[in-house]
Amino acid sequence: NAGVTQTPKFRVLKTGQSMTLLCAQDMNHEYMYWYRQDPGMGLRLIHYSVGEGTTAKGEVPDGYNVSRLKKQNFLLGLESAAPSQTSVYFCASSSGLAHTDTQYFGPGTRLTVL
Amino acid sequence: ILNVEQSPQSLHVQEGDSTNFTCSFPSSNFYALHWYRWETAKSPEALFVMTLNGDEKKKGRISATLNTKEGYSYLYIKGSQPEDSATYLCASRMDSSYKLIFGSGTRLLVRP
């Protein structure tokens, strides 16, 4: 039982390049989330999904797209990377079964955009 | 955007000291309050989830209280140990969508 995994762990991009971050969970969770974490700030929600085939915008969605084609995977895409997207990205998942639903986090992806 | 505030931002204590820190959140439309422990180079791990006013939760030397009417939660660590060094995050759920609003965390360093 690996929990929540993220690939890659590190990546350096040039401005304008594109990339996809993959999040996978093996807990059969319905809900999945993408956050970014910047110095001095809390985790900010980029996009989330409440089930396979559904996605919704979070607090800071601009410049990102997501897809949830399979229940266990949640992909975060950057079509044209900008230096402002330099950050640590965390994926999380939760069962969505109760108000006390706990989110389980992946190890993070550190992205630098030059 | 409704803010979740944590104080202090950072805290240095000596091994054996007891310590506490605060999470403030909007008291309207409250659903649940989460505490997470986040060690450097690891992922955040859930400590507590609390929903009811007056709730108290305890795990070993760590405990938390909740006041939903005034919108705050305290996290207490009794007899801090170096392994307690981490960032402690709180997050509030304020609607039925399961989205969490996170505070920026309190970074705790326990000196041996």
Mention every residue, 6+ apart, whose C-beta is less than 8 A from residue B109: B10, B11, B12, B13, B85
pLDDT at position B28, please? 85
Residue B1 scores a pLDDT above 60: no
- CB spacing of B43 vs A100 below 8 angstroms: no
CB distance from A97 to chain B under 8 Å? no
pLDDT, residue B95, reads: 77
Average pLDDT over residues B76-85: 96
pLDDT for position B2 = 64
CB < 8 Å & 24+ apart, contacts of B71-74: B71/B24, B71/B25, B71/B26, B71/B27, B71/B30, B72/B22, B72/B23, B72/B24, B72/B25, B73/B22, B73/B23, B73/B25, B73/B33, B73/B35, B74/B20, B74/B21, B74/B22, B74/B23
Q: Model confidence over A64-99: pLDDT tens digits?
A: 999 999 999 999 999 999 999 999 999 999 998 777
Confidence band of B78 (pLDDT split at 50, 70, 90): very high
- The answer to whether A61 faces chain B, any CB pair under 8 Å, is no
Q: Decide if B32 touches A, using CB distance below 8 A.
A: yes
Average pLDDT, chain B: 92
Tally: H helices and E strands in chain A: 0, 11
* CA end-to-end span of chain A: 36
Q: Which of B102, B106, B107 to mutate to test the interface with A (most CBs of A within 10 A)?
A: B102
Q: What is the pLDDT of residues A2-50, one digit of tens each?
A: 799 999 999 999 999 999 999 999 999 999 999 999 988 889 999 999 9
* B51 with A102: Cβ contact below 8 A: no
Quick check: A99 contacting B, CB < 8 Å? Answer: yes
Distance, in Å, from the CA atom of A43 to the CA atom of A58, rounded to the nearest integer, reads 11
For residue B33, what pLDDT is reported?
94
Provide the shortest C-alpha distance from residue B69 to chain A (in Å).
Answer: 18
| Tens of pLDDT, residues B14-49 | 999 999 999 999 988 888 999 999 998 889 999 999
